[in-house]
Amino acid sequence: MKSPLPVSYSKMKQTRLVLPPDTNHLDTIFGGKVLAYIDEIAALTAMKHSSCVVVTASIDSVDFMSSAKVGDALTLEASVTWTGRTSMEVFVQVSADDLLAGQKVMTTESFLTMVAVDQNGKPTEVPRLIPETEEEIRLYETAPARKEHRKSRSTLR
């Protein structure tokens, strides 16, 4: 059995410059581009926690609250919020920072479920998570309800 790890062990932060090829006619970033960034940082965070290759099993609904435009700094912050036997829930928050105007806005946030897999692509055990801060404990305790919600959503088809 692997040793439990605190949330802080795998927490990650990335900042990216929004460039013209990433944007639409309004010079704001494509939603799909932001989704790719979210998926990437969630994978890195889950790989760090598990020391394994991971695959994305699920991405919860993603709402875009505000846009990011060319020249903005897009910052993504990710942390593991809950672990099962082989799965990890990862929370990603994305904000857009207009560095010239000094204005920062929340762009979107999402929960993803990443699964650790072995060399044959079979799910493999991950270390248990130790939530430490008030916020980490809150997200850990609310994770089973989100898992249930995901399950009920998949039975709607």
Ligand X SMILES: CC(C)(COP(=O)(O)OP(=O)(O)OC[C@H]1O[C@@H](n2cnc3c(N)ncnc32)[C@H](O)[C@@H]1OP(=O)(O)O)[C@@H](O)C(=O)NCCC(=O)NCCS
Interacting residues toward ligand X by CB under 6 A: 55-58, 84-87, 113, 115, 117, 121, 123, 150
Choose between 121 and 144: whose C-beta lies nearer to ligand X: 121
Contact (CB, 8 A) for 75 and 97: yes
Q: Minimum Å distance from CB 116 to ligand X?
A: 9
Contact (CB, 8 A) for 84 and 18: no
- Residue 141's identity, in one-letter code, is E
Q: Minimum Å distance from CB 85 to ligand X?
A: 4
Quote the CA–CA distance of 144 and 127 in Å, as a whole number.
17
Q: Minimum Å distance from CB 39 to ligand X?
A: 8
Residue in the structure block whose two tokens are 């410059």: 17
Choose between 68 and 116: whose C-beta lies nearer to ligand X: 116
Q: Which residue is nearest to ligand X (CB)?
A: 84
Choose between 6 and 123: whose C-beta lies nearer to ligand X: 123
Q: How far apart are the first and last CA of the chain?
A: 37
Quote the CA–CA distance of 104 and 98 in Å, as a whole number.
6
Q: Minimum Å distance from CB 20 to ligand X?
A: 28
Choose between 104 and 150: whose C-beta lies nearer to ligand X: 150
**CB neighbour class for 106 (10 Å; exposed up to 12, middle 13-18, buried from 19):** exposed
